Amino acid sequence: MQTLLLTLDLVGTFVFALSGAIAGVKRRLDVFGVLVLSFAAGNAGGITRDLLIGATPPGAISDWRYLGVSVLAGAITFWWSSFVERAWNPVLVFDGAGLALFAVSGTEKALAYGLNPIMAALLGTLTGIGGGMVRDVLLAEIPTVLRSDLYAVAALAGAVVVVIGHTLHLPSAVVAAAGAILCFGLRFGAIHERWHLPIARPPKA
């Protein structure tokens, strides 16, 4: 079980790292810059969560495998970026899976550190979306998650399921699976059906 979770976590890191590397290649960074964006996109969410709950050093810093899969994703993208680009539609599916997993595992880790349920759900969401936010900030852009389709809400929904299950003392494997499936389903639906949140109408000044 522990091995399965670690594997899924590393797969999620890999896919998020791909998204960072692609963004870096498009902005014509050098190879080091692409690797930095890979690592940031894959790990910044989890690192921020760990800093906030006091789990230092963060898992992505103490365990070299997170760096390993991030560098692998960055290197593949750097040398075969057109291949990764063409494969991005299937990658979007993995990205949804990564989001689902990060949201669920991030929430569980926050609960394990004694945070109250509401903030644990928030930290789970942050685990899912933080990497992409740091990626965009490093590229001097407004994070796409702040104005895009149902990305953060999908993560939040999965996190809320975990929190509710935890509060009701339901078996955690079932709850984790339910949360991940809900998150993935919402994200998948958002891509296919173009679901999105209402956008603010700025006041007529």
* Interaction between residue 41 and its own copies (CB under 8 A): no
CA distance 44 to 64: 15
* Closer residue to its own copies in complex, CB, 173/201: 201
Give the CA count within 13 Å in the CB-facing half-sphere of 127: 34
Site for its own copies in 164-203 (CB under 8 A): 196-203
Residue choice 2, 4, 28, 173 for contact with its own copies (CB under 8 A) = 28
CA 63 to chain centre: 18
* Interaction between residue 54 and its own copies (CB under 8 A): yes
Residue choice 118, 167, 174, 193 for contact with its own copies (CB under 8 A) = 118
* Interaction between residue 87 and its own copies (CB under 8 A): no
Measure Cα distances from 96 to 11, 16, 79, 90, 127 in Å: 11, 10, 24, 10, 13
CA distance 74 to 24: 9
* Closer residue to its own copies in complex, CB, 118/174: 118
Provide the minimum distance between the beta carbon of 174 and its own copies in the complex, in angstroms, as a whole number.
26
Neighbours of 141 (CB within 10 A): 11
DSSP assigned state of 58: -
Provide the minimum distance between the beta carbon of 54 and its own copies in the complex, in angstroms, as a whole number.
3
Provide the minimum distance between the beta carbon of 154 and its own copies in the complex, in angstroms, as a whole number.
11
Q: Are 165 and 174 in contact (CB under 8 A)?
A: yes
Site for its own copies, rule CB under 8 A = 24-34, 36-37, 47, 51-54, 56-58, 61-62, 64, 67, 78, 81-82, 84-85, 113, 115-116, 118-119, 122-123, 133, 137-143, 145-148, 152-153, 196-205
